[in-house]
Structure 1
Amino acid sequence: MVRIAFILLAHKDPQGIVEQVRRLTALGDYVILHYDRNAPAQDYRMIRQALAGQSGVAFASRRYRCGWGEWSLVAASLSALRRAEQQFPQATHFYLLSGDCMPIKSADYARVFLDRDDADYIESFDFFKSDWIKTGLRAERLIYRHWFNERRNARLFYAGLRLQKALRLERAPPAGVQVMIGSQWWCLRRTTVESMLALLDRRPDLPRFFRTTWIPDETFFQTLVAHVVPKEEIRRRSPTCLLFTDYGMPVTFYNDHYDLLIRQDYLFARKISHEAQDLRTRLGQLWQAEGIGFVITNEAPALFRFLTARGRAGRRFAPRFWEDDQAAPHHVLCLIVAKKWHVAKRLTAAIRTQTDIPAVDYLFNEREAALPDLGGIASTLSKRERHRRALVRLLMDAFGTRKLVLCLDPAAVPLIADLAADRAETRILFIDSPLDEAYLRGHLRRTGLAGDGTPDTVIRQLLPVVARDLAHEAQHLRDMRFARFDTLSADAPADANAQALARFLDIAPTVAQDLARTPHLFTD
């Protein structure tokens, strides 16, 4: 009968580790814990107290201060493995796990899985011939000595590497050893562990060599197993599901990955986010479940590569929300187009006061535009315009409405055309205001065409040019022949303006009359 001794390497989340140990030993298996000496001492004391007297639990004979890429990770694994081999003679298999690992199958399934195939599960590929290493140092991991941690002492790490290269201090692996490489996470049979520990006792040069290699947890056990086990008894795969990015970083799994994970042909998965409490709870319950059938599809590695490749090529699995159909056909977008911003803003203020229709100001021109809090998408004007359709949809969602009023400058013809091309019904209300010389002079200054020191003769030359330009904007807007186009004019009777507002907003005539008579609406 299969009995598993789990070699558990952990360095944080003491309460989670206690729960993990209890879960793994609840059905008769064993756990040997190595808790990093870098962790707070009170955390380790809490774990020892919580697990005191717990059946099937032991602790590594020696605790190490572990660092990524260092020999300390191998030393910690060896310390726990030797203790497990001595402490639990009934253990048939030894499975290396981390505190970020969770089962993705039931214990019953795991035992059948290991019992049906008399083999070791460990990645073990030729170090120099395989393409297992994706980025960073390759041969330099072995042929040079590494005394410093690359993450903590990068300057010394690379200085030592450069010095050895300059002095040509390359070294060869120990005699008769073909170095192999693969994932740190494995499951080995008792006979393999016993043979491996015996080999280490006979060959002290092996740990001495690997002690100064870089990232030895990916080469040490992988090499030893290949030398004590016939290759036909090695399944060159990890029993733990783990995916890596193109940059060699592990992929983290979250709550919505449950169904994907249990379909994979693995027993455990790494890394499970500590924030994914729902996923952790469901997987913990799964380990102790009985009579569960699993349909294995094993699509996760290929699916991850496929989706990542699409992203690299600028394509995506699904459109971003701002690229999707932005507004429903029953939504109504009411665009007030006015060159005199103060007139349009008086009207939107009146609409907000006298109706329940949300109205915002020049949101593509002014940072403050009577907007609700929309998060980062509305933080800058460039971002608003870049995601303009998404912004309109978000505004409708935020206001809980199907009708929205917003202001635009007549110069923004491409923006107006793009919004009008959306699925929502678009209505245009053009405010036709007289643009006298005083306004034109102010426009020259606002747009930077003239300053305080610009000679009046130059300004007078520019005035007719700018006047024609603004008239052209208004005519261009009319020539676009929108299906719903109304005009509000300072020269029109109040009743005519009221009718235009009633059509534009779908409001009662009395309310439209009040809006048309907004005090000082067209006043400069």
Structure 2
Amino acid sequence: MARIAFILLCHKDPKGIIAQARRLTGSGDYVSIHFDARAKAADFDAIRTALADNPGVTFAARRIKCGWGEWSLVAATLEAVRAAVAAFPAATHFYMLSGDCMPIKSARYAHDFLDAEDLDYIESFDFFESDWIKTGFKEERLIYRFWFNERTQKSLFYGSYEIQKRLGLTRKIPADIQVMIGSQWWCLRRQTVENVLAFCDSRRDVMRFFATSWIPDETFFQTIVPHVVPRREIRTRTLTFLMFTDYGMPVTFHNDHYDLLLGQDYLFARKISAEAITLRERLGALWKADEAEFPISNEAAGLYRFLTQRGRIGRRFGQRFWEAEGSLGRDRTLLMIVCKKWHVAKRLTAAIRWHTDIPAVNYLFNEIEAELPDMGGIETTVEKRERHRRALVRMLFDQFESRRVAICLDPSALGLVQDFIEDKAVTRVLLIESDFDDDYVRGHIARVGLAGQHSVPERVNRLIPAVRSDLEHEIERIRDLGVGEFQTISHRNGTERNADALQRFLDVPPDLAMTLAQTDYLFDD
């Protein structure tokens, strides 16, 4: 019977980690924990103390300070894998998990599933031929060297990149390696893991190459596994269920998603909200249950999720009583960039930050990473930002010491846009028009749960007109607000018209507006 060694990468919530380790080892499986060295020492001590007498738990021999997009994430994974291989000789499979993953099947079902076929499960798509990377750097991830963190050392990150680019300091990919890409959440057999570790020990050139590539957790194991295992023994998929919004952000699951999650053809799910106590309790109990049959069908639940989410969006930004009298300030100008395709708006804000002195943040009411300065805690959760939105934006003006600030907003946040328009400050809106072709709408349908990977194409195609109409209606509602200072840019308008709109929106010189309008790949998907 399969016995799983879970590779648990985590950096917070010690109580949740302890509970998860006890739950997983209670089924006869194992857990190897890497706890980020950046986290609190007291939290790590609490985890070690609580699990000290559990023979099914081991810890990475070396804790590493992890950063998004860095080699450190792969290094931490390898540390936990080596610890698991040494500590658990009876483990047949090694399964990558994060601290916010939960089982959505029973342990019995998971063991039977892995016993049914002698396979590895890892997303592994050709780096250059696939469309896995939608925006931003692609080939650049590999041919240039990255020593700095893109989020915390932005000037060094992009400065070193520009120097290498100007001087032509590119490098070659190891000749015998076909670089692949995919999700970092995999499940591998023991022999595969041992082969990967042996490869790491023998091919220091490949290790050095990936150590300075960008976001290697999406390419390292995805490349090495097909190199050491016959492709017929690999299923190019993950066993961990996760959905993304249109904007590349993971969907968080809550208490009312239990039935939806059980109907997915996966063993675990990510991300489960830390506040979804009931859901966590039910899923924890499910892992211990003796159930072996789970009907797999997600269309109905996905449609329900989509409809209820639409209802929540309309209420989310309703004005709070404590903000009714608040104001951003009459002498300030709020520049609102409204765009459904987040990656397009982010390219524009990046160009604004680079070429002008106008502070520009991203989707601050939708995602944690939004180019925000340190603001004393109000910026740490999206929920806080929504509750205190005017206070938050007032603080942005103060923190940046500027009378102009640009922010990004989604068209679905109609009430939020309207709220700011009614403020005493000067408000301008720039609408970035988007085309919603069939491929984009199909992706939207999948991401919001209206259809799953097993849905028949005919069913998905029937949904396309209705969903496209809904997306277009969001845009029309923004237009109907009747904003006085309202500009539009689009790939159809041409560079000169776009530059003219940007000049009026940002109040910048014509040549600078033209530079912004000529931003590389601005409207590309």
**TM range, smaller chain:** 0.5 to 0.7
Distance 1:196 1:380, change over 3 A: closer
Aligned residues of 2:124 and 2:182 also touching (Cα < 8 A): yes
Deviates more, 1:207-216 or 1:248-257: 248-257
- Pairs within 5 Å for 1:55-454: 55-299=55-299, 320=314
- Pairs within 5 Å for 1:471-510: none
Q: CA deviation at 1:377?
A: 13
1:58-79, Cα deviation, whole Å (9 max, x unpaired): 0001110000110000000000
The count of corresponding residues between Structure 1 and Structure 2 is 325
Q: CA deviation at 1:139?
A: 1.2
Aligned residues of 2:259 and 2:301 also touching (Cα < 8 A): no
Aligned letter for 1:72?
Answer: S
Distance 1:166 1:235, change over 3 A: same
1:278-325, Cα deviation, whole Å (9 max, x unpaired): 111111111001135211014499869x959xx9xxxx6899579xxx
Secondary structure at the residue paired with 1:133? Answer: coil
Distance 1:302 1:218, change over 3 A: farther
Q: CA deviation at 1:172?
A: 1.6
Counterparts of 2:158 and 2:128, CA distance in 1? 22
Distance 1:70 1:379, change over 3 A: closer
Secondary structure at the residue paired with 1:34? Answer: strand
Secondary structure at the residue paired with 2:188? Answer: strand
Aligned residues of 2:178 and 2:223 also touching (Cα < 8 A): yes
**What is aligned with 1:24?**
24
Aligned residues of 2:260 and 2:302 also touching (Cα < 8 A): no
Distance 1:26 1:182, change over 3 A: same
Aligned residues of 2:146 and 2:214 also touching (Cα < 8 A): yes
Secondary structure at the residue paired with 2:112? Answer: helix
Identity over aligned pairs, percent: 64
Aligned residues of 2:260 and 2:301 also touching (Cα < 8 A): no
Distance 1:171 1:377, change over 3 A: closer
Counterparts of 1:198 and 1:381, CA distance in 2? 61
Distance 1:15 1:376, change over 3 A: same
Q: CA RMSD in A?
A: 2.9
Aligned residues of 1:4 and 1:91 also touching (Cα < 8 A): yes
Distance 1:155 1:302, change over 3 A: farther
Aligned residues of 1:134 and 1:247 also touching (Cα < 8 A): no
Secondary structure at the residue paired with 1:290? Answer: coil
Q: CA deviation at 1:138?
A: 1.2
Aligned residues of 1:36 and 1:66 also touching (Cα < 8 A): yes
Counterparts of 1:6 and 1:150, CA distance in 2? 29
Distance 1:46 1:163, change over 3 A: same
1:118-173, Cα deviation, whole Å (9 max, x unpaired): 11000000001100112222111111100100000111111111111111111121
Aligned residues of 1:121 and 1:235 also touching (Cα < 8 A): yes
**What is aligned with 2:47?**
47
Counterparts of 2:70 and 2:19, CA distance in 1? 28
1:364-422, Cα deviation, whole Å (9 max, x unpaired): xxxxxxxxxxx999989969xxxxxxxxxxxxxxxxxxxxxxxxxxxxxxxxxxxxxxx
Q: Which stretches in structure 1 are left out of the alignment for 5+ residues?
A: 323-374, 384-524
Distance 1:303 1:226, change over 3 A: farther
Question: TM-score scaled to structure 2, two decimals?
Answer: 0.58
Q: Which stretches in structure 2 are left out of the alignment for 5+ residues?
A: 317-414, 424-525
Distance 1:74 1:300, change over 3 A: farther
The reply on whether 1:34 has 2:34 as its aligned counterpart is yes
Aligned letter for 2:237?
Answer: R
Secondary structure at the residue paired with 1:251? Answer: coil
Q: CA deviation at 1:102?
A: 0.3
Aligned residues of 1:264 and 1:299 also touching (Cα < 8 A): no
Aligned letter for 2:70?
Answer: E
Aligned letter for 2:6?
Answer: F
Distance 1:319 1:148, change over 3 A: closer
Aligned residues of 2:180 and 2:219 also touching (Cα < 8 A): yes
Secondary structure at the residue paired with 1:50? Answer: helix
Q: CA deviation at 1:253?
A: 1.0
Aligned residues of 2:5 and 2:31 also touching (Cα < 8 A): yes
Distance 1:129 1:377, change over 3 A: closer
Distance 1:380 1:33, change over 3 A: closer
Secondary structure at the residue paired with 1:80? Answer: helix
Secondary structure at the residue paired with 2:58? Answer: strand
Secondary structure at the residue paired with 1:74? Answer: helix
Secondary structure at the residue paired with 1:76? Answer: helix
Counterparts of 1:4 and 1:182, CA distance in 2? 22
Distance 1:180 1:301, change over 3 A: farther
Q: CA deviation at 1:243?
A: 1.3
Counterparts of 1:160 and 1:28, CA distance in 2? 48
Counterparts of 1:380 and 1:192, CA distance in 2? 55
Q: CA deviation at 1:21?
A: 0.3
1:22-73, Cα deviation, whole Å (9 max, x unpaired): 0000011000000001111011011111011112110001110000110000
Secondary structure at the residue paired with 1:5? Answer: strand
Secondary structure at the residue paired with 1:238? Answer: coil
1:159-195, Cα deviation, whole Å (9 max, x unpaired): 1111111111111211200000000000000010111
Secondary structure at the residue paired with 2:260? Answer: helix
Counterparts of 1:180 and 1:307, CA distance in 2? 33
Aligned residues of 1:100 and 1:271 also touching (Cα < 8 A): yes
Counterparts of 1:12 and 1:177, CA distance in 2? 36
Secondary structure at the residue paired with 2:48? Answer: helix
Aligned residues of 1:135 and 1:247 also touching (Cα < 8 A): no
Counterparts of 1:228 and 1:89, CA distance in 2? 21
